[in-house]
Structures are given as structure tokens and as C-alpha cells.
Amino acid sequence: MLLGPSFLGSFFTEAFDLMPDQNYVLMDTAANFALTYYMFMVAVELDVRAIRGMGRKVLIITVVGMVLALVVSFTSAHGLGLRPDIVIKIPGFSDPPAKLRNDKKVLPFLLFFSLAISVTGLPVLARIITEIKLLNSPLGPLSMGSAILNDLVAWILLAVTLAATGGKDGKPVSPLVPLWVTLVGAAFVLACFHVVRPAIARMARRTPEGERMSDFQLGIILAGVPAAGFLSDLIGIHSIFGSFIYGLAVPNGPLTEHLIERMEPFLSNMLLPLFFANSGFRTNIYTILPLWAITSFALVVVLATLAKVVGTILVAMAYSMSFRDSLALGFLMSVKGPVEMIILNVAIDKKVLRGDMFAVILVTSIITTALVTPVVTMAYIKPSKPLAVYRRRNIQGARPDMELRMLACVHNTRHVHSLTRLLDVSNPSKRSPIFVCALHLVDLAGGRVSSMLVMHPSARNPHYGRLHRPALPSDQAQSESILTAIDGYEQHSTGVSFQPLTAFSPPATMHEDVCSVAEERHASFIVLPFHKHMTVDGDMEEVGSSAVRPVNLNVLANAPCSVAMLVDRGLGTGAAALFPGAHRASHHVAVVFIGGPDDREALAYAWRMAEHPAIVLTVIRFIEAAPPSRLQSMSSVTDEESTSALLADAELEKGRDEEALDGFRLRFMSDESVVFAEKVARNSEETVAALRAMGGSYDLYLVGRGHRRKSALTAGLEEWSEFPELGPIGDLLVSSDFGVKVSVLVVQQYVENTGPLSQPEARQ
């Protein structure tokens, strides 16, 4: 706008007039080029197979909301007398001559205007859903699916509108022209999906597994974007339609991720600014509409928005959704975005819309969109009753015959194998079952807008989630391998039931998905994979996504229940390997108990293992040889803190430790496969020496992440820890200095009413 008639053309008229006409042509060309590639990338980020898998509910919500908005906006704009040649009546001047009024432009103007304010802004909606954490709620997939379908319908209607108003200066054309354009356009779409798509897929298959396409191959694919735009423009449809269909034809998988990774920065930082700059350059704020026209344009936008909201509410309530959820969904579907601006710019190109009208419509749309987030936040409040029932957030104190609800995070198939080995030693049975919500976390490359929580059917519930299972938009081969491994294990195991889920999200918000799913599934235990794997030569290396460790750290800090991190270094792969139903082979498991809530939680999990007939469990309690005075054993305190309160808290923790150990001893007193041992140590050096002396006597160690305050048994170990998320003892066991390769399960207990890390001094 600074370079256009609004600023430079107003204050520096001569300089503005000196700009050659070819500059305007170059800017228009660059803007159209940017718009063409933008629509291609929008289509690449969508998943056609996911759109096909959407149910009738999404289709009806999309159609009803869009049709109502179209009808209301068209009729109200026509009734209020809005037209593309509105001028200001200046006192003392005669009205414009009738010959300057072009009635043939009114219909194209109304069509473009109505279509623009009837669409849902998919990119903006995706950002709103992510920010207010609705991705894993029922509204997230429903609104995203409706918005995807809404955008697809919008582009089809835009193509039809362009064909119907393809005459010069917006003049209507013969009815045969739209028919011809529709038929040829349909042939173009078929050619993209049945000729171009297989060709690109064949090119992708020739790329070796684990490698990316060459720049030459990517160049061939990207060269097809302007070619598709040129062909659609030649047919009589706007070039953006051709690039959009061409993008939809690109098969999903590693290729789309590579395209997004390579094109997204260039598109966002270079091409899109050209489009918006050209839009501002062609806007003249001094061409002001009369007040009645400004009011009318704003009123039409508001009425169309309300019509879409009301229509969506009625359909949602017809599908038994509550009024609050329906209201939130209605406002989510009223979001406006770049698609509206694109349609309005096309109308300006067709000379059926002016810059001043564009400004009024845009400002009103921005205001209505700004209201969406607060309205949805107030309307969509999760009922407190289900959360009040969610009381079992840890394992300690649970009845042995109670179902253990576990959320297991997996990033690849190796994590699934580690999970199944842990389940093998966890003694699942019909009397003490384990429910596992297996959450496959997929890195959302380039902020793909088709992200959602995908629910898959399980082996024992083949129809559960079947209607909500769209094809996986990325990493499909790995996702299918994970599902196959889970189904295979579930079919041959007893006492274990799975609910596979896939969550697509950026690494920065993955932990939010994990925590929200754990809370919604009432999980009492989250199992995280360690970010390093053991190689063939026994070393630990980080393989795969670099987001595993940041996600683990964030989950540990924000988890709504207890958390365990599994470091698998050959658990269940030795000569004494366990398998579901094994009774003769044995595993040796050790519980290192120093004291504190995390150690008690580890002991509670070991209770399940101790009942396994093929497990030999040893509880190793470390005792300080000469414990310091109570005041020295505590962390530093402020003057305001009460010494007596700290003493009482220390005694309470010690009493809880003794109670947990006594209960464990009483239960397994007569069980020869459960051994109790005590190790006396004066400092951390002796603790380390005692652990090293055990060597490879045990296949799996269960340890708490944190221990009692300022214990001399672990003093100084935190300063040398390479992986603080494992705690001092866990870090020692997985370090190369320990000398023996053992598997470790590090446990962190959720403390009721305080959260996992609300008392950091208790975890030192």
C-alpha cells in the first residue's frame, strides 16, 4: 500500500506517474506466479484419501453451512442494492450517466462476493485449533474435515463461476461455454489423477528407500505447476484451479514431506509476500464508498457468517451434539482466511470488484474471525464430571486385579517391539488386564494443515474406529508396520488390549497431544521410549527423529499421570527370552529402592512383575550407613518455612516408604521368586560401587527418577548426569562407564493435587 496510490501516488504524484506500465505487468505476473505455487502447496498438504473417508456428517455440515451462507449473502447483497459500480453522490454534482452503469457486471459481482464470504479459512482454522488445543478433541477432526471439504467445494464453485462469467469485462457468455469448460475441466482432472499421479508415484518408487528425490526430479514435478496453471487458463478456468488439482494429484508420502520442506520457506518468505504486496499496491483507500454501502457490505458479511453458524449448529445438534459443542463448531466453520482474499483478487482481475469494496469486506471478515477464538474458548468447556472420575493417576495403591490403563508413545517400529517386551514382563492376564493406548507420534513437516488424531481399529475391536480411519497422510509404510506389529501381538497375547492412535503434530506441541490423550483415556501410566537405541556393537546412538528427547522432557514436566521411560538394550532377546504365556524361562529383574514417591511407584509396578511365573524379582534397598541429622538431610529453606513442617514432611515420606516396603514383603513373603536385599552405603561412591558389583546379574532395572531430599546415597550424581530425565541412578545404569548393557525402566510418580514437578526439591 505504501508503493501504491494510497501513499506514493498521493504524496508523490510525479514519482508515481513515472513508473512505467510494464512494472504493473511484472508485479501482476509475479503475484499470479506466487498464487499458483501457493495453491499447489495447499493441495499437496491435503490428503485426497482422507477426504474420501469422511463420513456423511462432515459432508452435510459442509454443504448446509456453505449453501446457507451463499444464499443469504447473495440475496441480501442483491436486496441492499450492492453493485460493482457504486459511486459517491457529491452535492452539487450530477449523478453518473446511465451508460457508465454496467448491469451485466452485477451477477458476476454477486457470485464472487457471495462465494468469497462463504468459504472457511483452512490454514487459519488449523492454527486456531492448535493454539486452543482442540486437535485431539471431537471438534478438532470434525471441523478440520469440514474445512478441507469446504475448500475443495469452494475451488470447484470458483471454477464454475469463472466459466460462467468468462466473457469480456464480466459479460455473461453462452450457456454452451460453461458446459464445454466443465467437460474439458473434468477431463483435465481425470488426466491429473490417472496419468500424472501414477507417473509421479513411479518416479518416487525409483528413489531408494531412506533417500530423497534428486533436485532434477523435484524440478520436473515443480515445472508441472505453471504448466497445469497454463492448461486450466487455456480451458477457461483460472490458473489456480489447475495448480490446485495438480497438487492434489501428488501422492502422499515422503515425497510430499520433501516438497513441503523445500518449498515452504521459499513460498512463505518470497512468493506469498509478492501476492500480498500486489494486493496492497492495487488498493486505493481514497476511493471511498458511501456510508450506506460500507454498512451494507459489513452487514452482508455478518449475515452470511451468522447463517453459516446457525446452519452448522442445526446440523450438529441433529447429530446429537450438545449446544455448546455445536456453537463452537459453528464459529470454527465461520473462520475466514487466504482463500477469501484469493477469490476477491480474482474478482478484481475480472473488473467486477474495486479496491475500496475489497478493503471493507476484508476488515469485516477479520473482525468476525477475531471473535472465533474467545467464543469457542468460552463455549467448548470440557465437562467437569468425566475429569472428576479420573482419580487413578498413578499405580501405587491400586488393587492387583484392577485394569492398568497405559499410554505408550511410539515413533517407529523399534519402539513397538520394546513396548511388547515390557508388556511381556508386566504379567498381563484376564484377572489383571492391561489396556494400552498406543500413540504413534508423527512429526508434522511444514505445518501440514490436514493434521488430526487418527483412530485405528484394533485386532479385538475390528470395527472400533473404522469409520474414522482415513488413510495415513505421511510415513504410511512405517505407520502400517506399527499397526501390523500391534495387531499381531494383540492376537497372540492374553490380558492385553490395544487402541492404536496416530497423532500428527509439530514437535513443539507433541507433548500436548500426549498429555491430552492420556487424560481423555484416563491413563494412569505413560510409557516413553528413550531417544537412543543400542546398535549392533552395543553402543547407544540416536537414530531417527531428533524430536524424541524434547518430547520426553516436555511430557515429564507436564504429564497428568505417572510416567516411565524405557531404555531397551535387549530386553527379552537373550537366551531367557520371554514370550506371552512363558512359564519355564526366567528373567531377573531388580528394583533399586532408595526412597521417595518415584521409588514407591517403581515398586508398585514391580508388584505386577513379581506375580509373573517366569520372573525372578529382587528388591534392593539402599540404606545410609550413618545418616546425617534431619536438618542436614533437607534442602535449604527460607526463613518463612517452618522447620517443624519440614521435619514432619520428612517423617511422613519415610513412613510411606516403610509402608510400601512392608506391604510388598507381606504379599511375597512366601514367594521364592521374590528376593529382598539391603545394601548399606555411606555416600554416592559406595552406591555406585554396589551397583557395579551387581554387574549383569539382572536383565531389567526398575528405578525411580527422583529420590528423597539431599540423600547422601545420590549426592553429586546429578552434576555428572548426561541424561537428567533418567535421574541419577538411571543415568548411571545406562552410561558407558557402568560396563554392562542392561535395560532400565525409570519411573516418575504423579503426586496428587500437586502435579509431577510441583515439588522439585522432592525429586533431587
The three-state (H, E, C) secondary structure of 455-514, written as one string: ECCCCCCCCCCHHHCCCCCCCHHHHHHHHHHHHHHHHCCCCEEEEEEEEEECHHHHHHHH
| 151 half-sphere exposure, CB direction, 13 A CA radius | 33
Averaged over 41-54, what is the pLDDT?
65
Q: How many CB atoms lie within 10 A of CB 370?
A: 9
- How sure is the predictor about 445, in pLDDT bands with cuts at 50, 70 and 90? low
- Quick: pLDDT tens for 527-575: 999 988 877 666 777 766 678 899 999 999 999 999 999 998 877 654 3
Tell me the pairing of strands 540-541 and 533-534: antiparallel
Q: If you average pLDDT over every residue of the chain, what do you get?
A: 77
- Tell me how far CA of residue 11 lies from CA of 1, 7, 16, in angstroms: 13, 6, 9
**pLDDT at residue 536, as a whole number:** 66
- Tell me how far CA of residue 297 lies from CA of 293, 461, 612, in angstroms: 6, 53, 73
Residue 737 per-residue DSSP state: G
Separation between Cα atoms, residue 704 and residue 599, nearest integer Å: 4
**pLDDT at residue 754, as a whole number:** 45
Q: Which range has the worst mean pLDDT, 239-253, 502-516, 669-683, 704-718?
A: 704-718
How deeply is 211 buried, as exposed, middle or buried, from its count of CB atoms within 10 A (0-12, 13-18, 19+)?
exposed
**pLDDT at residue 203, as a whole number:** 86
Q: Which domains does the chain have, with CATH numbers?
A: 8-379 (1.20.1530), 389-763 (3.40.50.12370)
Residue reference for cell 501504491:
4
How deeply is 127 buried, as exposed, middle or buried, from its count of CB atoms within 10 A (0-12, 13-18, 19+)?
middle
Separation between Cα atoms, residue 373 and residue 127, nearest integer Å: 11
SS3 state at 438? strand
**pLDDT at residue 763, as a whole number:** 43
**Cell numbers given for 353:** 470488484
CA 144-305-71 angle, to 5 degrees, is: 105
- How sure is the predictor about 526, in pLDDT bands with cuts at 50, 70 and 90? very high
**Cell numbers given for 153:** 467445494
**Cell numbers given for 742:** 542392561
- Quick: pLDDT tens for 202-257: 888 887 766 777 888 888 888 999 999 888 888 877 777 788 888 888 887 777 77
E runs forming strands in 106-257? none
Residue 470 has pLDDT above 70, yes or no: no
Inter-residue contact 4 to 356 (CB < 8 Å): no
Inter-residue contact 116 to 357 (CB < 8 Å): no
The phi and psi torsions of 745 (rounded to 5 degrees) equal -115, 110
Single pTM value for the model:
0.61
**Cell numbers given for 152:** 475443495
- How sure is the predictor about 677, in pLDDT bands with cuts at 50, 70 and 90? very high
**pLDDT at residue 384, as a whole number:** 39
If phi > 0 it is left, if psi is from -120 to 50 it is alpha, else beta; for residue 636 that is: beta
Residue 310 has pLDDT above 70, yes or no: yes
- Quick: pLDDT tens for 66-81: 999 999 999 998 888 8
- How sure is the predictor about 370, in pLDDT bands with cuts at 50, 70 and 90? confident
